[in-house]
Amino acid sequence: MKEKLAILGNPPAFEKPRSTSNLIKPNIDSFLNYIKPSYSKGNLVEDNSLIQELENRLALVHGSKYCIAVCNGLWGLVLAINELKLNNKTEIIMPSLTYRRMADIAAWLKMTPHYCDVEIKTLGISAKSVENSINEKTALILAPHPIVNLCDVDGLLNISKKYKLPILFDSVEASYACYNGKSIGTFGDAEVFSVHASKFLNGFEGGYITTNNFDLARKLKAARNFGIENNQDLITLGINGKMILPHAAMTMSSLDLLETQIKKNKLRFYKYKELLEKVEGIDLIEYDSVERRSFKNILVKLNSQWPYSREVTLKILQKENMVVRPYYFPPLHKKEAVYPTIIGNLPNTELLMNDYMLLPCGEFVDSDDIEIIVDFLVYIESNSKEIKIELAKNNN
């Protein structure tokens, strides 16, 4: 194995990195066709027909009444929370095991993240734990869907109803999914999506919010344009949160590839599934087969038979240019913050936080790559004794 592992000084398995980013590549002509009419008018930043076309199309995909395109997912979340939060309340209930900037989003709103636990089954926010975190300061429930499958939508909606608390879903990782046969994008008070190049739809940068609430949609449309409604009146606190037209054109051309993408994602997923059978220490997290899913992310759990810690595993694989990533690590409650945070009881988060890992996926990963990746996993699993000795010698 001295000849094989990059971490021991050999050439990596891949010359070009294979990452966990989607990076789908729309048809260039389709992109140019979408942008050309606005380009020839010299208009690349406006709430014009292209933005409306995109918003209508996304609303249709999600089955929501309204869609509001924004400059990116992060400010989309900030603006949506700002409109939805209960007045004079300060806490946002959110999981700790989630997107690394989620607590910073609360900080931009001068609010306090209140971390609750996730369910072992879904890795999503647990309704029970949310209920335990509710207090007189709770302003909103922020429920991000996990990277594979969905959180307990019904359970969470019940809590939101029972306590009359607004609920916002971060559905960045749940694009294209269905819950009980109904498309994601219509649940809770609103849902936020990102079209960052690494996500399901590649819009360079960008995001959008879906909702069935007319008044919220109206406020958000103003909020992304300095709070100005229809270039006339101020109706809320805003920023420049507009999606620019090149990003809208890119998202449109990504949407054109939606069906093909799902097919490719499925092929990748089932290839991993078939091959990972050979790896005892790694369990693939499966997509719910009865509901619509994007099959985009490849999430695995390192079980008790896997011979390495996750940290060492990541190191070994990354050296091979397999840009694997730990699942939301560190969890937010382990990060130092300059703003106040509230840490609830997080037994499941503590239990799970070192077990999961994302394997390469997306446009740059084909069947042959998956074979190389899994063969490599098989190899390091079956030669773990010798490898560990070599690693120890090399101070790894």
Partner 1 sequence: MKPNNSIKTNNLPPWDEFQKMVQGIWEREYYTNHGPLVVDLENRIENLLGVKNAVCMTNSSIALMIAIKALDINKKVLIPSFSHLNIAQSVEWAGVEAEFGSIKNDSFVIDPKGIQAETNENIELVIAVNDFGMVSEIDELEELARQKNFRLIFVSDSFFGENYKEKKFGHFGDIEIFSFNESQLINGADGACICTSDNLLADKLRNIRSSYGAVKKVPIPYTGNGRMSEIQAGLSLLSLDNFENKRNEVLKRKNEFNTIVEKTEGVSIYNSINVCCNFILVLNCVKLGINLKDVTHKLKLINKHIELFKFYGVEIYSPYKRKSFPKNSLIDSSIGLPSNITSEEFNEVVSILTQNIK
Ligand X SMILES: Cc1ncc(COP(=O)(O)O)c(C=O)c1O
Residues in the chain, overall count: 396
Q: Is 32 in the site for partner 1 (CB under 8 A)?
A: yes
Q: Which CA distances in Å does 100 have to 73, 120, 156, 250, 274?
A: 13, 20, 22, 26, 31
Q: What is the distance between the terminal CA atoms of the chain, rounded to a whole angstrom?
A: 15
Stretch that binds ligand X, among 70-78, 110-118, 182-190, 279-287 (CB under 6 A): 70-78
Residue 99 contacts ligand X per CB under 6 A: yes
Is residue 62 involved in binding ligand X (CB under 6 A)? no
Measuring CA to CA, which residue among 20, 74, 98 is closest to residue 194? 74
CB of 337 to partner 1, least distance (A): 7
For 183, left (φ over 0), alpha (ψ -120 to 50), or beta? beta
In which element (H, E) is residue 190 found? strand 190-194
Please state the closest distance from residue 386 (CB atom) to ligand X, in A: 38
Say whether residue 74 binds ligand X (CB under 6 A).
yes
Dist CA 178 CA 158 (whole Å)? 18
Residue 172 contact partner, candidates partner 1, ligand X, none, CB within 5 to 8 A by sort of partner: ligand X
Q: Tell me 344's DSSP state.
A: -
Q: With CB cut-offs between 5 and 8 Å by kind, which of partner 1, ligand X, none does residue 202 bind?
A: partner 1
The two tokens of residue 86 are 């209960």
113 forms part of the interface with ligand X (CB under 6 A): no
Q: Does position 342 bind partner 1 by CB under 8 A?
A: no
The answer to whether 328 contacts ligand X (rule: CB under 6 A) is no
Nearer to partner 1, 135 or 260 (CB): 260
Q: Scanning residues 161 to 200, which ones bind ligand X (CB under 6 A)?
A: 170, 172-173, 194, 196
Q: Is 334 an interacting residue with respect to partner 1 (CB under 8 A)? A: no
- Candidate ranges 11-19, 69-77, 269-277, 361-369; the one touching ligand X (CB under 6 A): 69-77
Residue 334 three-state SS: helix
